Structure 1
Amino acid sequence: MHTVQAPLVPRRTAAAAAVVLSGLLAAGAALSGCEYVYDDGRGPLPSATAPTFTDAALPQDPRRNLPVSGAELDAWVEQVLPETAGQVFHTGFGLLKAGTTRHESTGHLPSGTYSLTLACKSARRVSFTVRDGEFALVDLSLRCGTSRVNVIHVSEDSVLSMEVAAQSAANFAYRVSRI
């Protein structure tokens, strides 16, 4: 049976390696304490008594979803129903009391494709139903604070009936324009 002995490392080499390693560690510790400082003209940092902000989002105005009337209603309609490139056939808007439903009609629409923009302003959703005779073209509950654009097609000359319902006081607006 043969045994192989590992060559022994001379003590002098091991001691030299230990000295080099400790020298590198000391140099690293000395360099980690270095800091580059310059004056950027912004002044001192705020003290610990300054308020800390944890959320970058700004709170929303609690009144932004409250229904309006008069000139405020007109301004809101201008904002949520911007100008369109197509021919506008009908625009409707108004104020609904809580738990009420409003029925309107668009007047005569020639056959074609239309853009129907819907918007509302309320603390709760508002329901819109648009019918061509007995056929419902749009039936949705819209989250207020957004506008919704639907593309509808009227195959023959028609009058659309609009139904708007709200569980709480609400503003509504809609526009029918030809594409």
Structure 2
Amino acid sequence: MGSGIALVCAALLAAAPLLASCAYTYDDGLPPLGERSPSSAQPTPRYPPQPPPTVATEPPPQEWTPEMMSSWALQTLPDSNGVSYAFGYGLVVPEQPILASAVVPSGTLFVVYTCRGTLTAHLSLTIAGTALVDTDYACGTQWTRAFVVVADSVAEVQVSATGRFPSAYAFRIVRR
């Protein structure tokens, strides 16, 4: 048995120079990495402005009726996962943010939010004057952020449109 191991080791040592000489090379037409000049192009924005996506069977959010808005918000963020302390939804237009407030208890809470109609929106959450969430987020996806409230406080949620088009928004503050 010991001689079998020695034979395998000898074979690996003999093959090592052959394996070390293998290298993948290709010609991509660019100078080697250390000789390339830095790009002078401006970085592309994270969320480049684009027209809102359109769905032929549904009007844009700015044409929704109050019943359509309510239905979308309740379907998107149902009150089924924990105790809900705040729920807000509506239409936010560019340069006209929406501010909502609610009393929240101490402990670990979650803000769940989404939007529809544009590519991105902005949400900020402030508790007792301290900003806990301040982010742009992609629409069409549900986002969740956890935060800790030290003592019963007032939560302020501000939602704004980031592009030049209105968007529907919904948020909920819950304990799970």
The size of the alignment, in residue pairs, is 120
- Deviation string for 1:70-118 (max 9, x for gaps)? 1111111122102333111110111112331111111x21101112110
Q: Superposition pairs for residues 22-101 of structure 1, below 5 Å?
A: 61=55, 66-67=60-61, 68-101=64-97
Q: What TM-score do you get using the length of structure 1 for normalisation?
A: 0.61
Aligned mates of 1:64, 1:137 — CA distance in 2? 35
Poorly superposed stretches of 4+, deviation over 3 Å = 62-65
State the partner residue of 1:122. 117
| Mapped contact 1:65–1:145 kept (Cα < 8 A) | no
Unaligned runs of 5+ in 1: 1-59
Aligned mates of 2:139, 2:81 — CA distance in 1? 25
| Mapped contact 2:87–2:170 kept (Cα < 8 A) | yes
Q: What TM-score do you get using the length of structure 2 for normalisation?
A: 0.62
Aligned mates of 1:75, 1:89 — CA distance in 2? 19
Aligned mates of 1:172, 1:148 — CA distance in 2? 12
Aligned AA for 1:61?
A: V
| Mapped contact 1:65–1:123 kept (Cα < 8 A) | no
| Mapped contact 2:77–2:172 kept (Cα < 8 A) | yes
Aligned residue for 1:100, secondary structure, equals coil
Report sequence identity in percent: 26
Return closer, same or farther for 1:124/1:62 CA change in 2, 3 Å cut-off: farther
Aligned mates of 1:64, 1:104 — CA distance in 2? 28
Aligned partner of 2:172 among 169, 172, 175: 175
Shift of residue 143 of structure 1? Answer: 0.9
Unaligned runs of 5+ in 2: 1-53
Aligned AA for 1:82?
A: P
| Mapped contact 1:65–1:144 kept (Cα < 8 A) | no
| Mapped contact 2:93–2:160 kept (Cα < 8 A) | no
In the alignment, does 2:126 pair up with 1:134? no
State the partner residue of 2:99. 103
Aligned AA for 1:141?
A: D
In the alignment, does 2:91 pair up with 1:113? no
Aligned AA for 2:89?
A: F
Cα RMSD for the two superposed structures:
2.1
